[in-house]
Structure 1
Amino acid sequence: MKHRKKLALTLGGAMGLIFAVAACAPVTLLNTITPSSSFSKAKDVSYGPLERQKLDLYKADTPKPDAPMLVFVHGGSWQEGSKDIYKFLADGFTKDGYDIAVPNYRLYPQTKYPGMIEDTAKAIAYAAVQNPDRPIVVIGHSAGAYNALMAIMDPRFMAAENLATCERVAGVISLAAPTGAYELKDPPYPTIFPGRFQGEDAPLAHADQPLPAMFLINGADDTTVGRKNAEMLAEKIEASGGNAKLKIYDGMNHTEAVQFLSRHFDGDSSLKSDIASFIDNLPKTGNFCR
């Protein structure tokens, strides 16, 4: 038991270091720690004509019957980040029988609002077309959670991809998304978002739309994206007659909101099992919006 505890502490420290240097470390650092025993992988699948419009598809070796297709959108302040470092997350879901697509999208300065959302919508639509008999569940972290929320909440984006959101998207899971609770003032955000999250560029501006079920998550210790973002959006969706589940996790910070989705470095958090329960209780067919 003592050796096992020591190993857990060592691995936990290694994961913390990895996340601290992930932006500059080789992507193999994360991949080496996570085994490839639960999935097969198709890498750099094009969902559009541009270089960043590619995704990695992880298919579960033992699929869960009637499981939806998952799409995970990475964070990185809309300026960095890559699908290539999320093998640990994909393994956490494929082990439970879920297939998951992890797309890239254009980053600043290559694009600014709404380019990153347009790419996210295109990736979601691609996953839906490739899986016509399965509903889609979209998951995002931080900037990627913002992209996911906006792609689904602002009807213009999925309409541009000829996808009927309420018929195909069963749910959205937002991990530490900025939703418009605070104005974006620090450079380069006013350049990326000229509206500074105070108008139609904020999820809070679209809470009165017909929406699929939302699971809005924040860490109580998140000093990067405060809990007020999730709380305000949940309150506004519920006030409009929508379905928004809110959970604030004690002792969880901004990075851990995605780290805890690893089955090896979950910090004994219930986050992963809560997300799985949310997914499994979503409707399988019909109109997903209310």
Structure 2
Amino acid sequence: MIWFAVLLAALLAAGFFWLQSSVSQNGPAVLDRIDRLTGGNSNIERAARVSYGPHPAQTVAVYRDPAASGPQPVILFVHGGGWHAGSPDDYGFAARNLAKEGFVVVLSGYRLYPDARFPAMLEDTADALQWTSENVTRYGGDADRIYLAGHSAGAYNAVMLALDPQWLEARGLSPDRIAGAIGIAGPYDFLPFDTDSTRNSFGEADNPEATQPIAFARGDAPPLLLMTGTEDTVVEPRNTKALAEAMEDAGGAVTTAYFEGMDHNRIIMALASPFSRDRRVLDAFGRFADETAAARTPEPSVPVQDPRP
């Protein structure tokens, strides 16, 4: 029986590494299929899928638990893919598992290279936020508690939108519309442009420094949660460290989470069944939402007694 246990362990390990390779090559669509088979989230519904602009990539999809009561916090989740690949349709696993945790989740698409370059990804994410702000209450979401989130390139979009207010202001939205931003393995300080994806999407920017989230660290920004895996070699953890230090120096609110043993793929796999049994990433979402909600709630006033007899 010992040989059988060893063989089974070897097969499981080989399968895990195969899956990581498949996620890297074939995208999150692989995770979505596995999550559908193993997740047990059949009660989570996709309540809407609509276009917020004329381009085919400009879509949002709303996921919710129809049994949930009361307005729920909202996560506007932006997909990764190096600004040249990816689709929100492949991230149902993230929406279903986050909806199970008590969120209304809006998956957002945006124009990709070669159809678009900087700042199109930010303009589109701002448009998706505007749509969410105006419509999410119809699906049980709380429009006063909208969190931007994303993985990899999507984390860039989410965090940049939270730090540079011009994209919201151009649409008549206050930066206060964002309750917080959650970056998963995001690039925040990536000058010079030394990869094909960064050269393609940012290489023609008039002011390269103005494309970097770290350049907009400020004390009055929405709270940030920056998560990364210690073994990430695609978007190195130094991005999280650098932005967190810049935010702290500016007096801003920032929380970091470094997950031992996770790489660029494993951290997003943690939002899909069966890998979500490692709850470190899901729990970080919940804690951040609870902590920021508490910070935004004013202390009840205490009546002042008249000292006069």
TM-score band, normalised by the shorter chain? 0.7 to 0.9
Distance 1:99 1:55 in 2: 13
Displacement of 1:93 in angstroms is: 1.1
d(CA) in 2 for partners of 1:26, 1:149: 26
2:77 matched to which residue of 1?
Answer: 72
SS of the counterpart of 1:257? helix
Root-mean-square deviation (CA, aligned residues, Å) is 3.1
The separation in 1 between residues aligned to 2:151 and 2:110, in whole angstroms, is: 14
Deviation at 1:111, TM superposition (A): 0.1
Counterpart code for 1:172 = A
Count of residues in correspondence between the two structures: 286
1:90 — aligned with what? 95
Correspondence for 1:179:
188
1:1-290 pair list within 5 angstroms:
12=16, 15-16=19-20, 18-23=22-27, 29-30=33-34, 32-33=36-37, 34-63=39-68, 65-131=70-136, 133-166=143-176, 168-194=177-203, 195=205, 198-208=208-218, 210-266=220-276, 268-283=278-293
For residues 11 and 39 of structure 1, the distance between their equivalents in structure 2, rounded to whole angstroms, comes to 28
Q: Which deviates the most, 131-140 or 97-106? A: 131-140
Change (3 A) 1:236 1:265: same
- Mapped partners of 1:95, 1:24: distance in 2: 19
Distance 1:73 1:165 in 2: 18
Where does structure 1 lack aligned partners over 5 or more consecutive residues?
none
TM-score, with structure 2 as normaliser: 0.82
Normalized per residue, which structure has more helix? 2
Equivalent pair of 1:213/1:244 in contact (CA under 8 Å): yes
Deviates more, 1:222-231 or 1:81-90: 81-90
1:158 touches 1:164 (CA, 8 Å); kept in 2? yes
* CA–CA separation in structure 2 for the residues paired with 1:175 and 1:197: 26
Q: How many angstroms apart in 1 are the aligned matches of 2:161 and 2:92?
A: 24
Q: 1:219 to 1:47 in 2, by over 3 A?
A: same
TM-score by length of 1: 0.87
- 273-282 or 35-44: which moved more? 35-44
Question: CA shift at 1:221, angstroms?
Answer: 0.1
CA drift at 1:276: 1.1
Conserved in 2, the CA contact under 8 Å of 1:41 and 1:58? yes
Deviation at 1:281, TM superposition (A): 1.9
The DSSP-based 3-state class of the residue aligned with 1:232 is: helix
Whole-Å separation in 2 of the counterparts to 1:17 and 1:282 = 36
